[in-house]
Copies of this chain bind each other. A is one copy, B any other.
């Protein structure tokens, strides 16, 4: 296992150097299955697509269903099917980078395989990780799956519209999260309803270098 992680880290460092040189921000989006990663990307393409040159890598065990949902935005999308693998790794990312015109790209979103555990252990060479969680999963997820909440630069708490119909405790969630990562920004959103996305858009814009903005 250490050997696998070491080899992954070396290639991740190579990816990171390449993306820095090309001034591309890479965002590694991690959540459980069905937390809303693809819907977040849909909303984000709609909002940022006219300002930034975006690309997407879709990680899935099988199928290109998520990529199909995103193709209407006319941005470059590459699918990586892991064929049973429970996370993306830096080698598969490095391989597909050649399919993008990195000189004409500002931000590359990676939708990792739906899994709250393994993806947090594999550096892809990303600029930063994002953790996403759905309120329907319950408020105890940070304390039960702490790794990704330690690693991420921000948390998206999605499906806030479902809170009235669940036993999700907002204060319980925030208290547990603060114990693990006390300064992490949390964006409370409903990607299907569009609630709360303004602050997310503002934050993600600020993560992408000005130099790359479309004129």
Give the nearest-CB partner of A139 in chain B: B34
- Please report which residues of chain A, range 68-87, place their CB below 8 angstroms from some CB of chain B when the two chains form the complex: 84, 86
- Please report which residues of chain A, range 136-159, place their CB below 8 angstroms from some CB of chain B when the two chains form the complex: 136-138, 140-141, 143-147, 159
Min CB gap A194→B, angstroms: 14
Asked whether any CB of chain B lies closer than 8 Å to the CB of A116, the reply is yes
Asked whether any CB of chain B lies closer than 8 Å to the CB of A102, the reply is no
A32 surroundings in chain B (CB, below 8 A): 32-34, 114, 116, 137
Would A167 and B144 count as touching, CB distance under 8 A? no
| Interface 1/0 per residue, A34-53 and B, CB below 8 Å | 11000000000000000000
Query: Among the listed B62, B114, B146, B165, which residue makes an inter-chain contact with A165, where contact means beta carbons less than 8 Å apart?
Result: B165
26 pairs, A vs B, C-beta closer than 8 Å: A32-B33, A32-B34, A32-B114, A32-B137, A33-B137, A34-B137, A61-B117, A61-B144, A61-B145, A62-B144, A63-B143, A63-B144, A65-B140, A65-B143, A84-B117, A86-B86, A86-B115, A114-B116, A114-B144, A115-B117, A117-B118, A136-B136, A136-B162, A161-B165, A162-B162, A162-B166
Would B62 and A146 count as touching, CB distance under 8 A? yes
Would B134 and A34 count as touching, CB distance under 8 A? yes
CA distance A61 to B118 in the complex (A): 11
CA distance A161 to B167 in the complex (A): 13
Taking each of A84, A113, A115, A117, which has the highest tally of chain B beta carbons within 10 Å of its own beta carbon?
A117
| Interface 1/0 per residue, A100-132 and B, CB below 8 Å | 000000000000011111100100000000000
A144 surroundings in chain B (CB, below 8 A): 33, 60-63, 65, 114
Give the nearest-CB partner of A60 in chain B: B144
Min CB gap A150→B, angstroms: 11
Taking each of A32, A140, A141, A162, which has the highest tally of chain B beta carbons within 10 Å of its own beta carbon?
A32
CA distance A16 to B15 in the complex (A): 45
A61 surroundings in chain B (CB, below 8 A): 117, 144-147
